[in-house]
Amino acid sequence: MTRSQGGSPQPPDRTAVVVGGGLAGITAALELADAGLRVTLAEARPRLGGLAFSFRRGDLTVDNGQHVFLRCCTAYQWFLDRIAARDLVTLQDRLDVPVVDAATGRTGRLSRAGLPVPLHLAASLARYPHLSLRERASVGRAALALRGLDLADPALDAVDFGSWLAGRGQSARTIEALWDLVGVATLNATAANSSLGLAAMVFKTGLLTDPGAADIGWASAPLGDLHDGRGRKALDAAGVRTLLRTRTSGIARSEDGGWQVSLETGPGRGEQLAADVVVLAVPQREAHALLPEGAVQHPEKLLQIGTAPILNVHVIYDRQVLRQPFLAALGSPVQWVFDRTESSGLTGGGQYVAVSQSAVEDEIDLPVAELRDRYLPELERVLPAARGAAVRDVFVTRERTATFAPTPGVGALRPGPVTRAPGLFLAGAWTATGWPATMESAVRSGLHASREALSALGLPADNRVLEAA
Ligand SMILES: Cc1cc2nc3c(=O)[nH]c(=O)nc-3n(C[C@H](O)[C@H](O)[C@H](O)COP(=O)(O)OP(=O)(O)OC[C@H]3O[C@@H](n4cnc5c(N)ncnc54)[C@H](O)[C@@H]3O)c2cc1C
């Protein structure tokens, strides 16, 4: 799938090494290979997909954590098309989120109508039972204020979203029942701990641009089938040499002005790869450790980017307890609950639900027994059908560094794709994409890095995806 420019042959001998086989690295590798480079992708783990992966547990295939995307995640959807995995996701025709208040048992819905922005959400908000009339009216005013914010204004990054909302008349209840309901899941932080710049980006893009922007999508197969299985197929077809279980231990300038990448391919075994360009698509701490001296101006900034955890509590019931693909909860520690029955391969009746808990710094290290005691009774409050159901299994997946923490000031710490070392580029959801740590940010970062790498080699890059985004 080499892009040919007006029929002229591509230079055959340009080489690239991409370090890290998460979504950022896969994207960069595909783009560089599509442009005609000889690409090696080195991933430390035995699989691709980075933070969005699956593993086997008995007969089940379990995702390390529930992942969703929105219709406005155009780069991630391009990626799904590029790896031929569109058939493995479901995307709502129209945003529709059931929201249960565990305290009252009432269910409201955040949904959209077929009207232009912002009227598309007005009817649902007007009927939203978890806020008073006055609170609902205040949401409209805050949304208008959000709409007026200039996302390019760096001053937004220094302000916390919670204070900004409070200053726009949002009560604690409105923040909990609306802004945090969406924001905690997308930013992995409460409004009080989120940069206004990132929060405004999420809410403006998702709710105040295109009417369909916030329609929710999710994998209908295990994440590993998409990012590892189909990702690997696409890389193979593009001619990328993919090395798994291969940790990169060093990146240094070679005498000819290119790069020398040191790989650990097994115990006591190594390989040196020469490359014209290197894309470092690993998390910020690993990037800090691998960056050659002087490659970024303030390397210490990478270590100042905080991280935030996500916890999933997986519960197998002996019967159906959740009748929709997912729901969100209020008045309970439970945040979001997803039906994982089909995608996990559970057979023999029963239902598998995953409770997805973002920004749970105080719970991430709790023992399973404690989490079980906390969440099973809460699930019975949120899902009445769970009250008479028998629990067949409970297990927990923890990602302590699931995302970077979107705290105020983080924008100034995130580097762009271009380093001061010619031919060395950075990618990863944590780099300066303007997005919070999401699959969308990861794919965008891979597109940015590969575009810059191609341009440094004097090769044309396909900008269409980024321009459309
Ligand atoms: C539980 C959970 C839930 C999430 N939910 C959502 C969601 O709903 N929606 C959403 O959009 N996003 C979600 N995210 C975030 C999303 O998964 C990440 O932002 C995205 O996958 C990051 O991709 P990446 O390529 O930037 O980094 P990573 O996935 O971290 O990939 C980096 C890769 O580099 C490899 N590596 C590191 N060091 C080396 C080395 N020295 N040599 C070789 N390889 C190395 C790692 O093994 C890893 O595979 C969630 C994350 C988690 C953990």
Looking at residue 12, its pLDDT comes to 54
User: Is 44 marked within a binding site?
Assistant: yes
Ligand 1: distance of its center to the CA of 307 in Å? 12
Ligand 1: distance of its center to the CA of 438 in Å? 9
CA atoms within 13 A on the CB side of 141: 15
Query: Residues with beta carbon inside 6 Å of ligand 1?
Result: 19-25, 42-45, 50-52, 64-65, 67-69, 247-248, 281-283, 286, 310, 399, 402-403, 428-429, 437-442
451 burial class (0-12, 13-18, 19+ CB within 10 angstroms)? Answer: buried
Per-residue pLDDT for the chain (469 aa), expressed as one digit of tens each?
344 444 454 455 899 999 999 999 999 999 999 999 999 999 999 999 999 999 999 999 999 999 999 999 999 999 999 999 999 999 999 999 999 999 999 999 999 998 888 889 999 999 999 999 999 999 999 999 999 999 999 999 999 999 999 999 999 999 999 999 999 999 999 999 999 999 999 999 998 889 999 999 999 999 999 999 999 999 999 999 999 999 999 999 999 999 999 999 988 999 999 999 999 999 999 999 999 999 999 999 999 999 999 999 999 999 999 999 999 999 999 999 999 999 999 998 999 999 999 999 999 999 999 999 999 999 999 999 999 999 999 999 999 999 999 999 999 999 999 999 999 999 999 999 999 999 999 999 999 999 999 999 999 887 777 877 7
Question: What is the rounded CA–CA span in Å between residue 408 and residue 244?
Answer: 36
- Residue type at 209 in one-letter notation: T
Looking at residue 348, its pLDDT comes to 87
Looking at residue 2, its pLDDT comes to 43
User: Is 43 marked within a binding site?
Assistant: yes
Looking at residue 465, its pLDDT comes to 78
Question: What is the rounded CA–CA span in Å between residue 6 and residue 27?
Answer: 24
Q: Rg of the chain's alpha carbons, rounded to an integer? A: 23
Q: Which atom of ligand 1 is nearest to the CA of 42?
A: 43
Please report the DSSP string for 156-193 in residue order. Answer: GGGSBHHHHHHHTT--HHHIIIIIHHHHHHHHSS-GGG
**Alpha helix segments (H runs only) across 225-384:** 231-238, 284-290, 300-304, 341-344, 368-382
Which of 47, 67, 246 best tests ligand 1's pocket when mutated (most atoms within 8 Å of CB)? Answer: 67
Q: Which atom of ligand 1 is nearest to the CA of 68?
A: 8
Structure tokens at 304: 């100042």
CA atoms within 13 A on the CB side of 351: 19
Does the complex come out with an ipTM higher than 0.90? yes
Contact 242, 49 (CB under 8 A): no
- Residue type at 312 in one-letter notation: N
Looking at residue 4, its pLDDT comes to 43
Bridge partners, 463 (sequence order):
none
Vertex 311: Cα angle to 308 and 314 (nearest 5): 165
Q: Where are the domains of the chain?
A: 15-52+223-305+416-468, 118-212
For the domain spanning 15-52+223-305+416-468, the CATH number is 3.50.50.60
Longest Cα pair distance anywhere in the chain, in angstroms?
A: 71
Tokens 């005691």 locate to 373
Nearest to 105 by CA among 380, 439, 403, 438: 380
Looking at residue 461, its pLDDT comes to 83
Which of 18, 19, 51, 447 best tests ligand 1's pocket when mutated (most atoms within 8 Å of CB)? Answer: 51
CB atoms within 10 A of CB 463: 11
Contact 353, 62 (CB under 8 A): no
Question: What is the rounded CA–CA span in Å between residue 91 and residue 426?
Answer: 31
Looking at residue 467, its pLDDT comes to 78
**Element of type H or E holding 89:** strand 89-91
Ligand 1: distance of its center to the CA of 371 in Å? 25
Ligand 1: distance of its center to the CA of 48 in Å? 10
Ligand 1: distance of its center to the CA of 257 in Å? 31
